[in-house]
Amino acid sequence: MRALRALVGAGQIKSLRRRLVWQFVVLSALLVAGLFVTVRWVAESASRASQDAVLGAAVTAIAEGVRSVDDGLELDLPYATFSMLGAMGDERIFYSLRVGADVVTGYEGLPPPPAPPTDLAPVFWAATHQGAQLRLAAVARPMLVDARAVPVMVTLGQTRRGQAAIARETAMGAAWVALAFLALVLPVALLAAEAVLSPVRRLAEVVARRGPRDLSPVRYPTPRELTPLLRALNGLIARLRGALDLAETFIFEAAHRIRTPLSLVRTEAELALAETSDPAARTRLRRMVRAIDDSSRSASQILDHAMVMYRSDQFEAEMLDLAALAASVLRAVEPLADLRDLRVTSAGLGRPCHLRGDQRMLEIALRNILDNAVKYARSEGTVHLALHEADRQAVLAVCDDGRGIAGDALTGRFRRGSNVEDVAGSGLGLTIVTEVAAAHRGRFSLTPRPEGGTCATLSLPLP
């Protein structure tokens, strides 16, 4: 049993598929070999049984042809019987009639039966005689010879050439069928292994298709045997998500803890600025306030970026009105524009513009675009926001009349961490907008205006 297990176990084979195929083939080969042996044995016994029936009848007929006559025994050879035996093919026939230990007629030296017969019930055995395989049958009959009862034994033998050939042919036929089966086994085994392993492969595909930040549990109908694997996988995902949630909470908490003292520092710096007229001190204080503003802006953008990445992976679009959203973001940015004495104008916001998107992500994008425009616009200049629909796209363009940027620098602005000239935080902001556009299957571009300034254009597909 252990040897069989070792043979089909295929412990060394790394691939489950090959292992399954190997096991299937080995087991099938064993079954086919067993079948071959069985067929051969059955064919052998069937041919022997039919030969025995004929031999038994024949030897009994010969024995019954022996008669006691006055001067001894008389044997009538039953020719019909011999011709019947001869009809069985190219076989040779041997017979002998013994009285006691003497051969009265027939061939000398036929092999003796293993157990001598006692009556007319035939005894069968196999033996070799003159180099040929013989099947022999013998019966015994007591006869009166000279008023004495003597045992008379009739032995009849027949070569097995033809019978053996029939058995061999039957077995060979079976062997061919078995080989044909074996040839079929390989593709069948491949198919079966494929069918057994396909749930594993599909599960792997489902897991592989996930984005790097998709940490929802895997819900996929799997066979019972794969449930422990799936459960272990989901357990791991849950632990990972827990760790990430903790990290996210930590980031927000850290932002909170850092921003509160920063506000105090900033406020105190502004108060100090109001109280001093020393130019050197004022320059230092202004630098300080500017550094705080930069770090605060960077922190906001890092959080925005994290939020956009997270929501891109869990993207769930809903119907929203881009015109209303743009109007509300514009309103939030207006005080900032006011600070720089910028005029903010808009067009196309009066009519709703419905599309499918993620409200929070789009709000972040619009906020970044407008913040950028306000930052770059010429002092006392204009920022113009226009929304229109064209080619099944909602096109939102925000144009400023700022200093404008050369083509190279424009594309560079999309790189994370790159700033334009002295304006901090512009790099990540535009990266964020580009990512929001990509998540919505839209486009974002910055183009210089011939009359000076830049247009930021966000195109989003309409449903």
Partner 1 sequence: MRILLVEDGEELARAVASRLALEGHGVDHAPTLADARLFLDSAPYDLILLDISLPDGDGRDFLAAERAARREVPVIMMTASASVGDRVSTLDLGADDYITKPFDFAELQARCRAVLRRRAGAADSRRHFAGFTFDALGANVTIGEETRELRARELRLLEILLSRPGQTYSKAHLIDRLFSFDEEVSDNAIEVYVGRLRRKLEGSGARIETLRGVGYRLIAE
What is the contact surface with partner 1 in residues (CB under 8 A)?
252, 255-257, 259-260, 262-268, 270-271, 273-274, 277, 279, 282, 286, 289-290, 292-294, 296, 299-300, 303-304, 307, 328, 331-332, 334-336, 338-342, 359-360, 363-364, 367, 375, 379-380, 422-424
What angle is formed at CA 146 by the lines to CA 141 and CA 151, rounded to 5 degrees?
20
What angle is formed at CA 106 by the lines to CA 102 and CA 110, rounded to 5 degrees?
75
Q: Which is nearer to partner 1, 237 or 303 (CB)?
A: 303
Residue 457 and residue 445 in contact, taking contact as beta carbons nearer than 8 Å: yes
Integer Cα distance of 248 and 227 in angstroms: 31
Residue 387 and residue 395 in contact, taking contact as beta carbons nearer than 8 Å: yes
Q: Are strands 343-347 and 382-390 parallel, antiparallel or unpaired?
A: parallel
Q: Which is nearer to partner 1, 131 or 261 (CB)?
A: 261
Strands (E), 348-435: 354-357, 382-390, 393-400
Q: Is the Cα dihedral 115, 119, 124, 125 positive or negative?
A: positive
CB atoms within 10 A of CB 280: 8
Q: Which is nearer to partner 1, 44 or 294 (CB)?
A: 294
Give least dist CB 418 to partner 1, A.
Answer: 17
Q: Which is nearer to partner 1, 195 or 332 (CB)?
A: 332
Give least dist CB 286 to partner 1, A.
Answer: 6
Residue 322 and residue 366 in contact, taking contact as beta carbons nearer than 8 Å: no
Q: Which is nearer to partner 1, 360 or 449 (CB)?
A: 360
Q: Are strands 148-159 and 93-99 parallel, antiparallel or unpaired?
A: antiparallel
Give least dist CB 208 to partner 1, A.
Answer: 31
Give least dist CB 439 to partner 1, A.
Answer: 15
Q: Which is nearer to partner 1, 259 or 354 (CB)?
A: 259
Candidates 60, 58, 4; CA nearest to 27 is: 4
Candidates 23, 24, 26, 1; CA nearest to 13 is: 23
Give least dist CB 296 to partner 1, A.
Answer: 6
Give least dist CB 342 to partner 1, A.
Answer: 8
Give least dist CB 276 to partner 1, A.
Answer: 8
- Annotate 410-429 with b (16+ C-beta within 10 A) or e (fewer): bebbbeeeeebeeebbbbbb
- Report helix, strand or coil for 144: strand
Give least dist CB 380 to partner 1, A.
Answer: 7
Question: What would the two tokens of residue 108 be?
Answer: 């000398």
Q: Which is nearer to partner 1, 42 or 336 (CB)?
A: 336
Question: What would the two tokens of residue 189 be?
Answer: 């085994």
Q: Which is nearer to partner 1, 153 or 308 (CB)?
A: 308
Q: Which is nearer to partner 1, 201 or 286 (CB)?
A: 286
Give least dist CB 241 to partner 1, A.
Answer: 19
